[in-house]
Amino acid sequence: MSYVKGLKCRECKREYPKEALFVCDYCFGSLEVTYDYEKIKKHLTKEVIESRDKNMWRYRELLPIEGEPTDGLNSGYTPLIKANNLAKKLGVKELYIKDDSVCHPTLSFKDRVVSVALSRAKEFGYKTMACASTGNLANSVASHAAKAGLKAYIFIPADLELGKVIGTLIYHPNLISVEGNYDEVNRLCSEVAAKYKWAFVNINIRPYYAEGSKTYGYEIAEQLGWRAPDHIVVPCAGGSLITKIWKSFKEFHKLGLISKPITKMYAAQATGCAPIVNMIKDKSEIMMPVKPKTIAKSLAIGNPADGYYAKGVVEESGGEAESVTDEEIVEGIKLLAATEGIFTETAGGVTVAVTKKLIEQGIIPKDELIVISITGNGLKTQEAVQSHIGKPIKIKPTLKSFEEEVKL
Ligand SMILES: *Cc1c(COP(=O)(O)O)cnc(C)c1O
Ligand SMILES: [Zn+2]
């Protein structure tokens, strides 16, 4: 049973059938999935959602597959944590962490998009999965493809963190390390995708894949007791996640599940790769692609596919954009660990540090409900913090040595 109507060009609004299409033949705009909301409204009530298993498919009617989900049956429904310690530190009243550093099975929000992409790709009859990745997507596609028994071809920039390389190779995909940055990897993949009949999750089945990110937003609204937050800080790489969180709140409102969202959306990037943030702060109509230079490799996309849409969401919602340096990213990672006991990766360091900055600047008010998006796990980016966290105290296995070295 499907509630998907079809695909629609985000620019000229031409409609297309729900096939493996991703770009408009007329204007080259990207395509987006459309749904029959009237029909969904009749089925999808709060009670129905709450009665379902605690995974991302509890919002199944709002996800673009035809039959039953076959992938990611344990993905999503990650904790929304009331971050009282961090709130106190930042001087704000009500702060939450949406913690996808523990998303099953590969510890980032990419398990959401890949779950939808694979379920849909199988319906299309694809036997081989592929992707261009900044790291977390590589882990997720490799893992899900292994579980589904599909072939995988995964393209990454050569300078990725060891944890992300090992966390991909362990599933034994074809891992191709490209001498170049993500934007060069992505361009190569577009050529490969045109030639080989593979499901490139973030290229030729991107409209379906991208919808998986909405579940991050649905969960936040449900976990807050059926309301959208006042403020949410979101990390941007390609710029898709921020647009899909916004879409998720709007859809929940359309279905009568929450009141009209007044959420202000904040785009967060690393200063060393901030094409979206720069465009928003400069009030420019044109995004200037950059050559990434940052420890936040998962966000290092110099020419983001959804950059203009991300800007649109930030402006429509009345939010803002901010970037932080590599030093601030490390401080952000350490701050979250010290206050909330959560070890996030560099992208989480970006959102924590950007949140702190926006609060200090008075842009995010101190007395309203704030959510920080934590989208990945710190064990994968250990290089980023290795030289900033001290060393263990070395002792001999004697009480004397313990008391001498550990100054009690
Ligand atoms: C991919 C990724 C993002 C950003 O996603 P986009 O939708 O491309 O903006 C954020 N955080 C982490 C950890 C990621 O891996
Ligand atoms: Zn078009």
| pLDDT exceeds 90 at position 407 | no
The per-residue pLDDT for range 227-237, each reduced to its tens digit, is 999 999 999 99
**Substitution candidate for ligand 1 out of 78, 100, 110 with most atoms within 8 A of CB:** 110
Sign of CA dihedral 173, 174, 176, 182: negative
Residue 140 CA to residue 53 CA, distance in Å, equals 21
The per-residue pLDDT for range 14-48, each reduced to its tens digit, is 999 999 999 999 999 999 999 999 999 999 999 99
**Substitution candidate for ligand 1 out of 97, 98, 108 with most atoms within 8 A of CB:** 108
Using the structure block, give the residue that is written with the tokens 């991909």. Answer: 168
Residue 148 CA to residue 171 CA, distance in Å, equals 12
CA atoms lying within 13 Å on the CB side of residue 33:
31
Question: Would the CB of 140 count as within 6 Å of ligand 1?
Answer: no
Proximal ligand: closest to the CA of 210: 1
Residue 167 CA to residue 142 CA, distance in Å, equals 9
This model's pTM is above 0.95: yes
The per-residue pLDDT for range 240-257, each reduced to its tens digit, is 999 999 999 999 999 999
The per-residue pLDDT for range 280-339, each reduced to its tens digit, is 999 999 999 999 999 999 999 999 999 999 999 999 999 999 999 999 999 999 999 999
CA atoms lying within 13 Å on the CB side of residue 390:
4
Question: Would the CB of 239 count as within 6 Å of ligand 1?
Answer: yes
Proximal ligand: closest to the CA of 106: 1
The per-residue pLDDT for range 69-120, each reduced to its tens digit, is 999 999 999 999 999 999 999 999 999 999 999 999 999 999 999 999 999 9
Beta carbons of 102 and 235 less than 8 angstroms apart: no
User: Is the CATH code 3.30.70.580 the one for domain 80-106+212-388?
Assistant: no
| pLDDT exceeds 80 at position 1 | no
First to last CA, the chain: 65
Beta carbons of 181 and 300 less than 8 angstroms apart: yes
